[in-house]
Structures are given as C-alpha cells and as structure tokens.
Amino acid sequence: MAIKVNKAKATAAAASVNEENAKTGASVAGSRAEKAAKEPKAAKEPKAAKESRNRPFTERVEFAAGLCLAQKYTDEQIIDLVNEKYSDYTGLMYNQREMGRTRWMLRNDLLKAVKHENKPFDRLFDVDGKLVTRENKPKKARAPKVSKENDPLNTIAGVNVHTEKEPVKKEPAKKTAAKKVNREKA
C-alpha cells in the first residue's frame, strides 16, 4: 500500500514554519547553537564500571610491557608471569595475541607508564638455553627432496618402489581394409 503525500499541504506547512522563523529572527539551527553557547558542556567522565574494567587491563599490559623491555624472558615466560600475577583478572587470559598487542602499544607509544625510549622489545626465543632474537634464530633445516637413493620406503622396508619399467610404445592404429572400403563408398 503506497502512501500519498499531498505536496500542497507539505509545502504550505514548511512555508508557515519558515515564516514564523523569519518573524522571530531565529532559525532552528541558530536557536540550537545559541542554546549550546549558553549552556557549557560538562566533561564526560568515564563510568565507574568502565574505569574498574580498564584499570586492571592497563596494569596488566604495563606489567607485560616492562617484562618485554627487560629482554630477559621469552614470550611464553612473560605470559606465565602475567597470568600468575593477575590470576584474579575477570577478562581473558593473557595469551600470545595480547602479547602482540602489548608490543604494538609499545611501538605506537600508547602506554603512559611505560616508555621504550629506543630499548628493543623484539620477541625472544630460547635456543639451546640462550635467549635469541628472531633475526638470530637459526632456521630449521628443510627435508631433502625424495629421490631414488634417499626414498624412506627403500630404507625402512628395503623395497625399491622406483624400479624403472620400459615405457610402452604405442603404435599408431593400423587401418583395416574394411574401414578403407567403407570410406570409399561414402
């Protein structure tokens, strides 16, 4: 069901509103601006619940950032220390994702209490009992490609699965005399 609007009534109503505003010398937008200028806005204060939720989060992130800047622990150790200290935190457990967020906050200077001041905050890895950054971490050796000589099936089972067979040569199909006769008739 379509609604029909009487344009004559709508334009007449708008015109009367414009006439009233013209008589009073104020427009709707102007009156709003005047009201806003007269009444000073109160600064928005965070709600108590939001503040109580944010404070433990920032404390936890700042604690993790301090451990990160100390360059004495791997990420796994930092995660364990943070979860141990803030075991009563009602939100999510501190994990590797939160650790990445902490490093991002350090990089973008979003933590008020902790400043990196050109200290490294790279991820550390435990390699043979030594803490090593990602750049100095040795790369894992890749498995060699399987060939006839190093095939694991040969070494485990003692079976050579790669015996070469002579390829079967396909001979071109021979034309029979019957097919020739049929083609000639057609």
The region that residue 98 occupies, defined by phi over 0 for left and psi between -120 and 50 for alpha, beta otherwise, is alpha
| Assessment of whether the complete model's pTM goes beyond 0.85 | no
Tokens for 137, please give them: 């971490």
Domain count, the chain: 1
Per-residue burial over 101-138, b if 16 or more Cβ lie within 10 Å, else e, is ebbebbeeeebeebeeeeeebeebbeeeeeeeeeeeee
Strands annotated E in the chain? 124-127, 130-133
Within 10 A of 78 (CB to CB), how many other CB atoms are there? 24
64 lies in which domain range? 49-133
Mean pLDDT of 25-46: 61
pLDDT the model gives residue 72? 92
Q: In this structure, is residue 177 part of a structural domain? A: no
Q: In this structure, is residue 109 part of a structural domain? A: yes
Q: In this structure, is residue 18 part of a structural domain? A: no
Q: In this structure, is residue 59 part of a structural domain? A: yes
Q: In this structure, is residue 86 part of a structural domain? A: yes
pLDDT the model gives residue 40? 62
Q: In this structure, is residue 79 part of a structural domain? A: yes
